[in-house]
Structure 1
Amino acid sequence: MRRRSVLLAVPALMLTAAGCGDDDKGSDSASSSSPTPSGSTGATPSASATAAPKIVDGPVPAITAGTAFGQKPTVAKGTGTPSTDLAVKTVVAGGGPVIAAGDYIQVNYLGQIWDSAKVFDTSFGRGPYTNVIGKGKVIPGWDKALVGKKVKSRVEMAIPPSLGYGSSGNAQAGIKGTDTLVFVVDVLQRFNGKSSATGTKVPQSDKKLPTVGANTDGKAPDITVPKGVKPPAKLVSNYVIEGDGAVVKASDTLLLQYKGVVWDTGKEFDATYRSGELAAFPLAQLIKGWQQGLAGKKAGSRVMLVTPPDVAYGAQPPSGSGIPANATLVFCLDILAIL
């Protein structure tokens, strides 16, 4: 199945015409049992999933191996009758920030069926999974169980059908409508409107290029365009802060903080910092300057892009954007995560 790309707060300004209208296009591949909601899995949670569920502390099956945070767990088969309520146990209490509804969380997880202990999906060994929590972008059991937990926690949950894939189950994943699901989730990171790049500051010594602030307090960095300097004719893509995450591929969907200004005036025309909401979109659907300038960069980084008109909007910028025709644009982008 195709993992549904989040595409929250996507500025239409940044989308090419080819990218509009299909929020699945360009999203990455995952197994059919990723904990995404109806629409991704084909299953529709029952109406009871929308009501506030009762959360109990068990029963949950024992973790018999890989018990430490970060290790791939082995989980025993459930014994007895599982709770009809949402059972949640904090196995390892993390010391990081508390997760709030609307945050993006990056996790590793393992999911199996209570009665058989059959593992139907795991991100351990495949790479972390990132999505919005508490906003209906994952199955209801995840939304309810993980909000309020702390980063670096390991959480085990037993999710009844009404808070999983509903009475229809998920045939492609081998999940019946009567199956209670068991998940072990390691919360690696969380991202919100106050998140910034992390990594090593890189010197900005070329006086013919803009300088970008290296603050990591979640506030919009300053972009200073050199006065009286002709903009470069070719794309410039430089690290301001170099992270140590995975290398961005052209096919990736990215979670970003960003700000854009016009070279000639220094005037800001768009920024995620205005709304306090992050932007998530497939790189392949964005202007050529972003596609070419971000591919090959590392997650966790802050990148300064100078995009000449031929890799930006050329003679036809979006109506109402405040971008002049044939403008060179300067962007500051924090690559928070690869979705």
Structure 2
Amino acid sequence: MRRAAVSLLLAPLLLTPALAGCTSGAPGELDLKVGGPFGARPTIVFPDAKPMAGLQVDELAAGKGEPLRADDVAIVQYTAHVWDGRDNRLVDSSFNRGTPAAFPMGELLPGLERALKGRRVGSRVIAAIPPGDGFGANPPQGVADGEELFYVVDILGAHRKGASVESRGGTLAGVRVGGGARPALAVPAGPPPATFAAKVLARGDGRAARAGQLVVTQYEAAVWSRRSVFDATWTGGGPKAFKLGDGSVIKAWDKALDGVPVGSRVLMIVPPAYGYGRAGHPEYGIKSSDTLVFVVDLIAAY
């Protein structure tokens, strides 16, 4: 469960004319160069000119994996620049942070959505995005109104809305989890345990998740005292991705998922000290005294 909101929203190859194969606008003789292999930080040499008008897109490497569909969560490495024909400054880069990013399809900038939809895992896509297909009149810090963006995006993975781990279900401290593709939490009456506990209900055979990695999950969460679910990705739009070990998820997740192989289903009992602490989580009606219950499917780790 995320603690706070996430930030902004990826052999040398030569592109001349610039952004050939664009989705709109005529290609121009702009000597734009994007170098480096898929999955590695790209080198970009901008021309001394602004891009052509309109959204322009090209695929520099064609992947052979699954195509991105509406509602998928794409896992990407990316870099984003302002393309102004002067300093072409860097705005954001997952390569620099050392961890891939999650791009939920259907929630991206319009130009980025059009550039990535239908592209296959393993593809490197570049896009020059005009303001009307980008942040519009309300850009975030680091981007000024009216500035053009340039993205390089490497698509590492795609995860479907219904992704799940098959399990026979199980119990922990009286909490029951049903089996099947989508688990169902049943919290018993009475007071919760005072200590944190976690149990792997189904152990996968993938790589072990480690601190510093981006993990892709499905989960269902309940407040013990109310015996009711307050959040569930299976009904909330699809998988969610979080980075382990950097404070972006509650302490329980860092503790329970570290070392667990991909393909596992994990059940957690989370007292306040391992959850939202004294602050609680007012958005979900969680008080400082509330013990929580999570069942988490570990779909992937990057």
| TM-score normalised according to structure 2 size | 0.62
- What displacement does 1:273 show? 2.9
Answer whether contact 2:50 2:84 (CA < 8 A) is retained.
no
For residue 158 of structure 1, give the secondary structure of its aligned residue in structure 2: strand
Identity level (%): 29
- What displacement does 1:224 show? 9.9
| CA distance in 1: counterparts of 2:49 and 2:291, whole angstroms | 66
Q: Are positions 1:333 and 2:296 aligned together?
A: yes
| CA distance in 2: counterparts of 1:117 and 1:213, whole angstroms | 56
Aligned positions of 1:125-274 closer than 5 A: 125-126=96-97, 127-135=99-107, 138-166=108-136, 172-173=141-142, 175-196=143-164, 219-221=181-183, 234-239=195-200, 240-241=202-203, 244=207, 247=210, 256-259=217-220, 269=229, 271-274=232-235
- What displacement does 1:104 show? 2.4
Answer whether contact 1:77 1:117 (CA < 8 A) is retained.
no
Q: Which amino acid aligns with 1:302?
A: R
| CA distance in 1: counterparts of 2:25 and 2:165, whole angstroms | 37
CA RMSD across the alignment = 5.4
Q: 1:293 aligns with which of 252, 255, 258?
A: 252
For residue 95 of structure 2, give the secondary structure of its aligned residue in structure 1: coil
For residue 150 of structure 1, give the secondary structure of its aligned residue in structure 2: coil
For residue 332 of structure 1, give the secondary structure of its aligned residue in structure 2: strand
Name the residue aligned to 2:66: 97
Q: 1:122 aligns with which of 74, 85, 93?
A: 93
- What displacement does 1:155 show? 0.2
| CA distance in 1: counterparts of 2:222 and 2:165, whole angstroms | 19
Answer whether contact 1:302 1:333 (CA < 8 A) is retained.
yes
Answer whether contact 1:255 1:278 (CA < 8 A) is retained.
yes
Q: Structure 1: where are the runs of 5+ without partners?
A: 1-13, 29-33, 37-52, 226-230, 284-289, 313-320
- What displacement does 1:185 show? 0.5
- What displacement does 1:178 show? 4.8
- What displacement does 1:114 show? 5.1
Distance verdict in 2 for CA 1:114–1:183, change over 3 Å: farther
| CA distance in 2: counterparts of 1:214 and 1:63, whole angstroms | 52
CA displacement 1:298-321 (0-9 Å, x = unmatched): 485532224579989xxxxxxxx9
Q: Which amino acid aligns with 1:95?
A: K
CA displacement 1:31-59 (0-9 Å, x = unmatched): xxx4x3xxxxxxxxxxxxxxxx9645845
Name the residue aligned to 1:86: 55
Answer whether contact 2:57 2:125 (CA < 8 A) is retained.
yes
| CA distance in 1: counterparts of 2:185 and 2:68, whole angstroms | 31
Answer whether contact 1:259 1:268 (CA < 8 A) is retained.
no
Q: How many residue pairs end up in the alignment?
A: 271
For residue 124 of structure 1, give the secondary structure of its aligned residue in structure 2: helix
Answer whether contact 1:220 1:259 (CA < 8 A) is retained.
no
| TM-score normalised according to structure 1 size | 0.56
| CA distance in 2: counterparts of 1:154 and 1:302, whole angstroms | 32
Structure with greater strand share of residues: 2
- What displacement does 1:109 show? 1.0
Distance verdict in 2 for CA 1:207–1:125, change over 3 Å: closer
| CA distance in 1: counterparts of 2:26 and 2:199, whole angstroms | 49
- What displacement does 1:220 show? 1.2
- What displacement does 1:233 show? 5.9
- What displacement does 1:70 show? 0.3
| CA distance in 1: counterparts of 2:147 and 2:113, whole angstroms | 19
Name the residue aligned to 1:3: none
Answer whether contact 1:103 1:191 (CA < 8 A) is retained.
yes
Name the residue aligned to 2:43: 74
Distance verdict in 2 for CA 1:222–1:58, change over 3 Å: farther
Q: Are positions 1:108 and 2:77 aligned together?
A: yes
| CA distance in 1: counterparts of 2:300 and 2:95, whole angstroms | 17
- What displacement does 1:161 show? 2.6
CA displacement 1:272-293 (0-9 Å, x = unmatched): 334664467999xxxxxx9343
Answer whether contact 2:129 2:150 (CA < 8 A) is retained.
yes
- What displacement does 1:98 show? 2.0
